[in-house]
Structure 1
Amino acid sequence: MIVIAFDFGIKKIGVAVGENITKKGRPLNVLNAHNGHPNWDTVKNLIQYWQPKFIIVGLPLNINGTKQKITNESEKFANLLKYKFNIVVKMHDERLTTVEAKSIIFKKNGFKGLKKEKIHSYAAKIILESWLNQYFFTI
């Protein structure tokens, strides 16, 4: 089963794709956004190409679990995905995924590898793998 994850941002939206058997994801390209709205045709093409069973959207929360300013925008984005593409969309806690993404990229490519495009997509990969590991059990 294929799953797509989004790391929502007002200017950049990270994207990753993965599947439930290996519980692994891979980062895809970052989508440029204007006030949190991507090019919806690009999103449509991603969904048509990968044909995911679910879409996961990162839920930005403060460390103590309270909502941030961007939390409502992320939830609106998730609702738009659900209604525009008639697909199941789940929100998943994304606390510290950006920190983890930066750490992974830095270990692989050093300081020069820390580009925002990579960070957002790696954060989406981390969100995806976290969701897969929490909700899909191996037999």
Structure 2
Amino acid sequence: MKVHPDTPGVDDPGEGRRIGLDVGTVRIGVAASDREARLAMPVETVDRVTGFKDRDGADIERILALIGEYDAVEVVVGLPRDLKGNGSASVKHAKEIAFRIRRRSDVAVRMGDERLTTVAATHALRSSGVSEKAGRRLIDQAAAVEILQSWLDGRLTKLKETQQ
């Protein structure tokens, strides 16, 4: 089944920080942008608690707290797809977390393209001497940075196009 991410810059909420999420079945990597929405930085890794039929757990509460702490105007949740654009089994997890954030917050929630972000994050950490096993929590954060940075770059491109 083809799944399509949102397009950066469309219905843009304007100036302000963004939060990026790499949703896994065990952990959620979190990244945040600077106030100018140009650079993504790692924040933390949140242990995944909330499933499909569970009540919102500590993971959702922590993400909502981070949205408030960073005064975020937009949250970008990674949409897991393969290279052909088909959704993986993890799409349900990402959409569930996005739904729960939307339900409890006024912040804009978008689905961003996540293709190859975990692979890129793993290679970057491995090349810096961090093993995959030792760095799983860091890999989740690094993947969130990749998701968010890709979104920020796409957003800037879109905004420049509309100004011309």
Give your verdict on TM over 0.5.
Answer: yes
Distance 1:87 1:131 in 2: 16
TM-score (norm. length: structure 2): 0.77
Contact 1:31 1:38 in 2 (8 A): no
State the alpha-carbon separation in 1 of the partners of residues 155 and 95 from structure 2: 20
- Give the counterpart of 1:96 among 116, 119, 122: 116
Q: Could you tell me the TM-score, scaled by structure 1's length?
A: 0.89
Q: State the shift of 1:48 in Å.
A: 1.4
Name 1:130's counterpart in structure 2. 150
Identity of aligned residues (%): 25
Task: Between 48-57 and 73-82, report the one with greater CA deviation.
Answer: 73-82
Query: Which letter does structure 2 place at the counterpart of 1:4?
Result: I
Structure with the higher fraction of residues in helix conformation = 1
Q: Does residue 19 of structure 1 match 2:39?
A: no
Does the 8 A contact of 1:106 with 1:114 survive in 2?
no
Q: Per-residue CA shift, 1:54-113, capped at 9, x if unaligned?
A: 000000011211111111221121111111112100101101101100111122234378
Judging by fraction of residues, say which structure has more strand.
1
1:117 deviates by 0.2
Structure 1, unaligned runs of 5 or more: none
The structure 2 residue matched to 1:69, chosen from 86, 89, 95, is 89
- Residue pair 2:30, 2:46 contacting (<8 A) in 1 also: yes
